[in-house]
Chain A
Amino acid sequence: MHIATRMKTRTRGDVTEVLVLVNHPMDTGLVKSPVTHKIIPAHFIKTLTIAINHEPAVITDMGIAVSKDPLIAVKLKGARKGDLVSVDWIDNEGMTGHAESHVS
């Protein structure tokens, strides 16, 4: 299974807004499949880190309550043109994802 991770940044002055979208099912482990009537096992992102030039700036721990296909926005301070903003996540099955872009 491939899970797409996308990221967008927008800088105005000192503020860099970072938008992250991950196409992740975020299954809670509490829901039964309407087809098989079996519990769909939990599959969700546990930790998502946003970094500037590889230094973590925001570390988000998530529970099962975060919606499917998480869309997350944070604001970073003092990122300059050319700085590398990156996002990394890991889920409860050990799958990981990454996206990065330079501040323009």
Chain B
Amino acid sequence: MNLPRRTFLKQAFSGTALAVAAGAGLLRPTQALARTWPTWPAQTFHIKHWQALEHALFGSKPVTHGGVHLHAPLEAENGAVVPMVISTKVASPKRLALAVDHNPYSLATLVNLTPRAFGFFNVRIKMGKTSRVRAYVETAERVYTVDRLVKVTVGGCGG
């Protein structure tokens, strides 16, 4: 979980009383989080290019190829529903991300994991056209990535 962002947003949006209570240790952080909605990272979801996205998400953390599996079809007959499975065996993954190079906005989904979750995520996404799809796993020290080319024969964004 991206703690600085969570902490910031929790304080910014949860109302002063709750933030003060959480700050004073009256509420455990998870309780405070459960009562408020973690705020959606709008800026990140509006990044168009995958390289800019990678930089925005992970900054200067070293990026290694491998360490993560992306199960994606070689060819999608329907770009509106393309199944994707991200899985990883790396120790204590903190975030998973899925990005599509040629979609209007690169980032499809960003998954914050706690120690209660395995490094696994299955989702179906839309793809406008044939594109490379990138999966990322972020740990405290580094980022693991893998990409797959998925051919789309019927687009997902035009219906």
Q: Is the CB of A76 within 8 A of B116?
A: yes
Q: Is the CB of B123 within 8 A of A52?
A: no
- A-B contact count, CB below 8 Å? 125
B108 within 8 Å of A (CB atoms): yes
A68 within 8 Å of B (CB atoms): yes
A39-61 to B contact mask, C-beta < 8 Å, 1/0:
00000001101111011111111
A71 within 8 Å of B (CB atoms): yes
Complex Cα spacing A67 to B120, Å? 18
Q: For this complex, into which size category does the number of interface residues on chain B fall?
A: 35 or more
Q: Is the CB of B121 within 8 A of A63?
A: no
Q: Is the CB of A76 within 8 A of B117?
A: yes
> In the complex, what residues of A have CB within 8 A of residue B40's CB?
46-47, 61
A12-68, CB < 8 A from B: 15, 28, 30-31, 34, 46-47, 49-52, 54-68
Q: Is the CB of A63 within 8 A of B111?
A: no
Segment at the A interface, from B15-23, B61-69, B99-107, B141-149: B99-107
Q: Taking A56-B30, A72-B122 as contacts, is the C-beta distance between A63 and B108 under 8 angstroms? A: yes
A70 within 8 Å of B (CB atoms): yes
A10 within 8 Å of B (CB atoms): no
> In the complex, what residues of A have CB within 8 A of residue B112's CB?
58-61
B80-127, CB < 8 A from A: 80-82, 100, 103-105, 107-118, 120-127
Nearest 8 pairs of A and B residues by beta carbon:
A73-B122, A57-B116, A65-B108, A75-B118, A46-B40, A67-B124, A59-B112, A75-B120
